[in-house]
Structure 1
Amino acid sequence: MTETTLHHRAEAVRRFNRFYTQHIGVLHEFLQKSPFSLTEVRVLRELTQGTVSTATELARTLGLDSGYLSRLLTSFERRQLITRRQSEADARQSLLELTPAGRAAYAPLEVAAVDEVCALLKGLSVAGQEQLIAAMRVIERLLGRGPARAAVSLRAPRGGDYGWLVHRQALLFGAEYGADMGFEAFAAQEMAEFSRRHDHERAMCWIAEQQETVVGAAFVAALSERAARMRLLYVEPESRGHGIGTLLVTQCISFAQQAGYDTLTLTTCGVLNDGERVFERAGFRCVSTEPERRFGRNLIAQTWERKL
């Protein structure tokens, strides 16, 4: 990536930040008329949820300076919004709890916040609402501190998934490996063939989701009566190295065994180095290697095979 490209992308992020900050200011009209700052409302909400119990946990969860938080909590205590009591497990820690007055002070703020967001969403179509929430989830996953620790689930494809997977993989393989539009045509053809011939007893697709966002996928389809082929395996770049590829490959092997196949094969272009390690650990071996010109690049086509 060139410095110019990076600069343009940084400007795009800053532009979004300005837009979103302005939008959030409008959403917090009710908050501006309350006696609480935005930070104070965030602290009250965490205490209402009961997910934290000490000032140390609260500071870590909200990313607040401990000194600033201490002064804020002292103010809450003086206003009888919270109580503090010494922890029996650690005398250095105080357990925090909202008082009835604290809960009563926060309740209208929560109602107002929900009403404001609902009003925002009502201005969008159902499809627009879903697109907005999906985009927010992507931002959370990419910029969040712990997406790798979030649970991963596998599901069957839904309407729109096949087309989206063609689009996403074409973008990724173009950006990462320099593939031209021939790869998109190849992926579209593979997807269309799978969709037309889909036999639930002999072929299957799995979509990997993390925090309700697609982070990978894999297909298994018949190559012959006794052999199956794994197709279009991919994992999102930010989610690699955390076992998602292994999970998908293991699922493909298990399905192929249950479907009665004797072997499971796959073909790669010799650029998926991380994938090769996943295949080897899963019991695959490379049975052929052949140079070829494909997708606008000189590649090494590799065929991998696993006995079932």
Structure 2
Amino acid sequence: MNDAHAAPGDDIAVRIREFGRFWALRMGLVRSRVFGTSYSLAETRALIEIHLRRHLSQGDLRRELNLEPSVMSRMVQKLQGQGLVTVATSPDDGRQRMLALTDRGEETAELIGQRVIADIKQAIEGLSEGDARHLADLLENAQRLIEGTEARTPLQVRGIGPGDLGWVVYRQGEVYADEHSWNRRYESGIARLVADHIVAGHAVMESAWIAEIAGQRVGSCFCTRVNDERAQIENLFIEPRYRGRGAAVRLLEESIRFARGAGYAELLLVTIADWAASERIALDLGFRPTEDAVSASLPPGSAQRSWLLDLRGPR
């Protein structure tokens, strides 16, 4: 079975449920009237959705709020009776009832929006700005995962920025310890390689990149100098749940372009011998098996396989 598509266990569902309970209590969403108004949670959501989306049918709103048709009809009648909502037949489809806010409804929706923001700010007021931004990033990522939009988010490759080098050491040490039981000796080797990149890196002859999806780091790759003729790829790493989505290929292609532009004649890649996916990618990009070499970003004594790309050949 492919673990990436396996059904989540009960323990995961319980953890998500616990956060839902916590946040509902924190925001007062279990009360019959919310955000300091005389409206229920469903009614405030309805007013906000109509306010934000303008041309919204009653059917679309019902599906958005996941309400039964009878419940939706009663709620719209109530809001209409309070002078907050108007209902009109769609000029394009006589079966559709289009919803709009009255002036009073617009004022009410804006007031609710302000109170929602105030309540959220109060709920997280104990966090530093950095922690609050981190929380917002995590929640955005959670929304993309649940909606399935993350898979359609384009992958970006960029140069190294603040915090990236620490992330390279941290994530490789953590992930490979979990997957392959590689110990602190391996992690210290990664740290030395990263330190060498900072201290002795050749600005023109060496470079490094980070792969991102929706602002989240998902991979890394370094192109380091061996000698005037040869460069070597180090620290090629992809976050486990992003493997198979083209990040490794994009990072390797960036390394190849850089090495050619820097004037190298050949580019060396060293992989773990039994990693079939890495070998397949290397072959697809034109690398060919070569004499044994050693990678500083792989554990000493591990079974390694070397691949060489002739940068002077056809592209």
Do the two structures share a fold, i.e. TM-score over 0.5? yes
- Where does residue 224 of structure 2 map in the other structure? 221
Residue from 268, 274, 278 that aligns with 2:281: 278
* Range with greater deviation from structure 2 (168-177 or 274-283): 274-283
Partner SS for 2:28: helix
CA distance in 2 between counterparts of 1:161 and 1:151 reads 20
Residue 159 of structure 1 deviates from its aligned partner by: 2.5
User: Shift of residue 39 of structure 1?
Assistant: 3.1
Instruction: Tell me if structure 1 keeps the 8 A contact 2:28–2:34.
Output: no
- SS at the partner of 1:33? coil
CA shift for structure 1 position 147: 0.9
SS at match of 2:263: coil
SS in 2 for 1:25: coil
Q: Report how far residue 34 of structure 1 moved.
A: 1.5
The structural deviation recorded for 1:46 is 3.3
Residue 20 (str. 1) matches residue 23 (str. 2) = yes
Paired residues for 1:77-116 under 5 Å:
77=80, 79=82, 80-86=84-90, 88=92, 96-116=99-119
Matched residues in 1 for 2:280 and 2:169: separation? Answer: 25
Structure 1 portions without partners, runs of 5+: none
Counterpart of 1:36? 39
Counterpart residue number, 1:118:
121
CA distance in 2, matches of 1:78, 1:240: 54
Root-mean-square deviation (Å): 3.6
**Equivalent runs, 1:260-275 vs 2, <5 Å:** 260-275=263-278
Q: 1:118 to 1:13 in 2, by over 3 A?
A: closer
One-letter identity of the residue aligned with 2:90: Q
Residues 74 and 256 of structure 1, relative CA distance in 2, 3 Å threshold:
farther
Q: Is the 8 A contact 1:27 1:117 kept in 2?
A: no
Question: What residue identity is the alignment partner of 2:309?
Answer: R
Structure 1 residue 41, shift from structure 2 partner = 2.9
The answer to whether the Cα contact below 8 Å between 1:56 and 1:66 also exists between their aligned partners in 2 is no
**In the alignment, what sits opposite 2:6?**
none
SS at match of 2:49: helix
Q: Which residue among 41, 49, 62 is the counterpart of 1:46?
A: 49
- Cα offset, 1:212, TM superposition: 2.1
- Say if 1:44 and 1:93 are closer, same or farther in 2 by CA, change over 3 A: same
Q: Secondary structure at the match of 1:200?
A: coil
Q: Indicate the residue corresponding to 1:255 in structure 2.
A: 258
Checking the alignment, whether the CA contact within 8 Å between 1:81 and 1:100 is kept in structure 2 is no
**Whole-angstrom distance in 2 between the partners of 1:227 and 1:102:** 69
**Given that residues 29 and 41 in structure 2 are in contact (C-alpha distance below 8 angstroms), is that contact kept between their aligned partners in structure 1?**
no
Instruction: Summarize the alignment of residues 115-264 of structure 1 with structure 2, pairs less than 5 Å apart.
Output: 115-140=118-143, 142-264=145-267
Deviations 1:136-182 (A, max 9, x none): 34544554522111233233333322112211111111222332223
Query: Aligned to 2:34, what secondary structure does the other structure show?
Result: helix
What TM-score does the superposition give when structure 1 sets the normalisation length?
A: 0.79
Change (3 A) 1:46 1:198: farther
Q: How many residues align?
A: 300
Which residue identity is paired with 1:64?
Answer: N
CA distance in 1, matches of 2:29, 2:67: 27
Name the CA distance, whole Å, in 2 between partners of 1:8 and 1:184. 31
Q: Which amino acid aligns with 1:166?
A: V
Deviations 1:251-287 (A, max 9, x none): 2222222222222221111354333333333222333
1:286 touches 1:302 (CA, 8 Å); kept in 2?
yes
Q: Calculate percent identity across the aligned residue pairs.
A: 25
Extract structure 1 runs of 4+ deviating beyond 6 A. 26-30, 289-292
CA shift in 2, pair 1:83/1:26, >3 Å? closer
User: Which entry has the higher C-alpha Rg, 1 or 2?
Assistant: 2
Change (3 A) 1:153 1:42: farther
Task: Choose between structure 1 and 2: higher helix proportion.
Answer: 1
Q: CA, structure 1 residues 206+290, in 2 after alignment: closer, same or farther (shift >3 Å)?
A: closer
Cα pair 1:268 1:303 within 8 Å, conserved: yes
